[in-house]
Structure 1
Amino acid sequence: MIEAPPPPPVAQAPPPPPPAPRKIETLTGPSFDFDKVHLRPEGVAKVEHAVRVMQENPSMHVVVDGYTDSIGSDAYNLKLSERRAEAVRDLMVQKGISASRITTHGYGKARPVASNNTAEGRAENRRVEIVAE
């Protein structure tokens, strides 16, 4: 009796790539006053939205990145951006999200999204981004 040859190996598709980070919320100029860390009501509403998204996705971790406009020294703006990111994290924790699910960074005036030559552009650059990992 002649045996049939074994079937050729079936190529397996590679595993899908990890999902790309997605921005959950961006708190821009109206969320923070110039040179301030305190969140205005618009900013609080955006943080509350991010909290709801995280509550619906209990395994989600986020990165909270803070930025400033170009007015002021590099060192001052770096610290201000860190404090803004931390203020957002602190509010998220107050609303029930575990701090272990949140990482913060401050980038100061690096990575602007608009021109710093106008008041409107500077307001856009004063922001905190909440990004899912």
Structure 2
Amino acid sequence: GEPADEIWTFSNRFGMQPFQFILRVIPDPTTSQNERVINPTFEVGFEQIIFSIDLEPNQYLVCDGHRPSRVYDLNWNFLYDAEPSVDIPQILDGQQEIKFYCHPDTKHQVSVKFKATSNPERLSVPLA
């Protein structure tokens, strides 16, 4: 998706759980590398979650459903914690819209992967 406004439909088939995602800033080759993605914001179930940060090209914002979220560089080296404006919202079971906003002046793109997890499956190994 491109910065400014995006709306995605996400299908969660694993029950209500904390919102989880990985956001990457993809550099635009025609744009200055000094441009940033400013204040990435998600809206989940009418709840807005703002990260008051400036992400550089090739940086990742990772939210594992808990506070704080974390920012990593291109090689997955930890850079800093990113506190969300509110507690991480819950995603519901089934389909829902997730909205994304950020500073509208950048030409960099963002790639977002949403994550939902199921309960672990218990396996047993017969003893010989």
TM-score (norm 2): 0.33
**Structure number with higher helix proportion:** 1
Higher RCO (C-alpha 8 Å, min separation 6): 2
> Which one has the largest radius of gyration?
1
